[in-house]
Structure formats: C-alpha cells, structure tokens
Structure 1
C-alpha cells in the first residue's frame, strides 16, 4: 500500500484533455479545493440540521434506503450513513447544479450521463467516527457495479463523485483504490475479492492525502475500500458526501420505494 501523488488538478466548467487521460488510465482523479472553507462549514451545518431532524422524527430509512446509525464520542446516537440529502437542503441541491459538477458527466463519454439526485441512494454522507463500540469505521473492498445486477439490469458504467469535508491524510485511513481495475473483465469485477467482507490491504492499492473541500471521482467498476483510521474519537472523524453519475434507464425513488436487497446484505458485512 502506498500514497499516490496525484497532480493538483483544478475542476473548471470543462474538463481538460490531461484530466480525461489521467482518469482513463487510473480510474480515479482528485480535484483540489473544489469547495472553499466557508462552503464546507455551510454544508456541515446543513448535514447537522438534517441529522437532528431525522433523529427527532425517528426515521430509519429515506425513500426505501436504510440509514446507518452509531454513537459519537459522547455516546449520543448519530447517523453514520445518510442518503438523498440534496432533496432536503437547498445549498446541497444547488451544489449539484454547479457547472463544474455537471462537467464531470463528460467522464462517462461515450455514454450519456446524469447526476443521480433522486435515483439509487442520491447524495449520501458517509460519516466515519471510530469509537470502541462503533459499527461503521471502515468499508471493505467492493465495486459499485453489482447493484445493477440486483436490480435486474446489465452492468452500466457509472461514476462516484466524493466531496470531502474533513482533512484526511493518508495515514488516517480513507479512500483506497486498485488503479486501473475499472478496465478489468467481468469475472474479476464480480469475483476478484470478497465484497465488503475483505478489508485486507492489497500490495497494489494506493491512497491519498485528502483535504476538506477536495473532490474525488472514481469509476464505479474500480475496486476500492475505506481504510479504518488508527485513531479514535474526534481525530478519526471523516465526512464524505458521494453522488453517483449514471446512465441507462431513469429510475427515480420516492417514499413508497422498496428497500433493495443489496442494502440488506451490505448491512450484515460492513463495519
């Protein structure tokens, strides 16, 4: 496992040829300082507001997608995985309309893509805090592709756009990927590792120094995981919002949507 030195790309309203080529080769790319510090704090405030509202309401799922709960460093109940957040926040909704975010759709070329605001799980938050009793401190190896099979569809190209709200140096865990595996064959995609169960480091994997305000994009077909922090409490906190860019049939979700099978399976193997 090693730290990957990614060029300091800046995301504009159009992608450059260098950015296209880099992503095509590695299946992952980092854009620095996508959000300024004031916007990061605004988004954190919005997330805290939504979390409090949902806890007060006793929600356990949104549009059929289960919420994942844990305890913070003070022993209070918290939501460690939230979904469809932009449907409950004007600033988060407006962020998805940002021309820079819309430009990322081009990475799906030659497919026609769209921001998945009300499909799949929408805009999610993964909130990792490591405590002795925590249930959500890491995520095992997986790709984002098999969910299409669970929905009775063929595997379609997709992207996952990550917005990082905390500084996460390489040594503190976080995103790990096997670069180039977005071009693997279907057998390696489905059976290359034990989905979510396998948390073991891989000699080929790379990690990153990520900072609050950075934006990452990874191809949904690439093998990736979230490395557990070696620290506990506040020092271990990592908040990352993800939204998919997808193609294929339009399949919006609402309050009457059923819980997909893969969510019930994932809840048993993530920790």
Structure 2
C-alpha cells in the first residue's frame, strides 16, 4: 500500500493539468480549500445539528436513515448526517462556493451539478473509534450499483470530500484503487465483495489529509475507509461529502421512500 504524494490548489477554474490528472487516476487532492475559521464554523454546525436531531429523536432525513453510534462516555452520537446543508445556512452557502462549482468540469462531457437535495445531499461523516462505535470503517465499494438499484444506467458522479480533521496516512481514512473508474461493468460489480471486503490491496493508495483539504474521487473508483489504529479523539475523522452528479434531476423530500439498499448497508458496516 502506497502513500499518495500528488496534490494541487483549487481555483475558480480547473487547469488542463488537473483535468488530465483526474482523467487518468480518478482521484485528486486539493490542499487548503478551507481556512481554519471556516473549518471551525462547519464543526460547530455539525455539533448543533447533531444535538438538535438527537433531541428531536429524528431517525431519517428525506427518507435516508441517520447512522448512530456511541462516544467514549457511552452517549448516543450521530455518525452520519445527510442533507445537512438544508438545515444550515453556512453549509448551504458552502455549496454555492465557485471553486466547488468548478469541479463539475471533471465530469465533461456531461453536465454536472451539486446535488444538494438529491442522493443523500451533503453528508457529514463523523467517525470515531471507540469500543462502542459501529461506524469506524467501510469496506471496499464503488458508488455505482445505486444507479442499477434505481433502474438507471451507471452515470459518472464525483464524491467530493471536505476534510475537517487532519488524518495522516497512518491513521486510516480514505483508500482508493487509482484508475479503476475506467473498469468494465463486470469488474465494477464483482471486482470485490461490496462492503464486506476490508482487506488491504497491493494497488491501493492512501493519503495524508489535513484539516481544510478537499479530495475528489470518481464514484466508479473502488474505494474504502480504513479503520483508525487509534481510539478516542485521536481517531476522530469528520468529513463532509458533496455529491456532484449528472443525468436526470431526482430531488428528495420528507415523503421520499427509503431506498432498499439502505436496509442492508446497516448490517455490513462494522
């Protein structure tokens, strides 16, 4: 397993070098996307939303289940919040940021858009490794079978991760198999056992990601989240995921049904 050393700066438009790099590898990292002040704002919004939703005993947002765990003291926490920008002005304004819109160019020749009220909206993952936590890692997967479950053809999409905590390579976190966004459908569906396989792979790369960095990977790329070897606060990884999608506009609302694949993903996250 190797550490990924390439990184870039994100401006209001992408350079040809950045477009070519992403086309080849299916993954790209931009340093210092957020200032320290912005990171602090979004962390406080995460805490506010978590508190509010726990008090409301909310279990789903727009049909998508929240994922719950326990902290070191045994208190209930929300480990995956979805559609969070619909409940937060600062997070909503973040999604209007021109540099985020610039990333849609990575989907050319398709028209890309930021999916604020589609898929699961702006997701905030709040991983912490404690003896009680249920959501500390995620096995190998691509994001494409969702399209098949929904009866659509597989469309390219981008998973944009905005990293609120520093997560060095040694501390687990995002792992990808570069270039696999160009694999055939059979490899896409059967290359690995979805979510169950957590094994290291000779081809995989991991990252040093710093608080405020932004990563982008193609949804067709094989990727996973490796468990942290640390416990407690040292292991905390808060990442906001912005989906950038193409194809038919499919907004969700409070009456949206829970997609059936969510019924079994709960069983496979350790």
* Equivalent residue, structure 1, for 2:268: 269
For 1:103-122, what aligned pairs fall within 5 Å after superposition?
A: 103-122=102-121
Contact 2:138/2:195 (<8 A) preserved: yes
CA positional deviation for 1:73: 1.7
Alpha-carbon shift at residue 31 of structure 1 (Å): 0.5
Residue matched to 2:42: 43
Q: Distance in 2 between matches of 1:96 and 1:134?
A: 30
Gaps of 5+ in 2: none
**Correspondence for 1:238:** 237
Q: Is the 8 A contact 2:128 2:136 kept in 1?
A: yes
Q: Which residue of 1 aligns with 2:180?
A: 181
Does 2:133 align with 1:157?
A: no
Query: In the aligned structure 2, how far is the partner of 1:50 from the partner of 1:224?
Result: 28
Question: 2:78 maps to which residue?
Answer: 79
Query: Residue 80 of structure 1: CA displacement?
Result: 0.2
- Determine the structure 1 residue equivalent to 2:249: 250
TM-score, scaled relative to structure 2: 0.99
What does residue 194 of structure 1 align with?
193
Structure 1 unaligned regions, length at least 5: none
- Aligned residue for 1:129, secondary structure, equals strand
2:177–2:204 Cα contact (<8 Å) kept: yes
Alignment partners' CA distance in 2, 1:219 and 1:150: 19
Matched, 1:93 2:86: no
**Aligned equivalent of 2:57:** 58
Normalization by structure 1: what TM-score? 0.99
CA deviations on 1:187-228 (whole Å, 9 max, x unpaired) are 000100000000011010000000000000000000000000
Query: Alignment partner of 1:175: what SS?
Result: strand
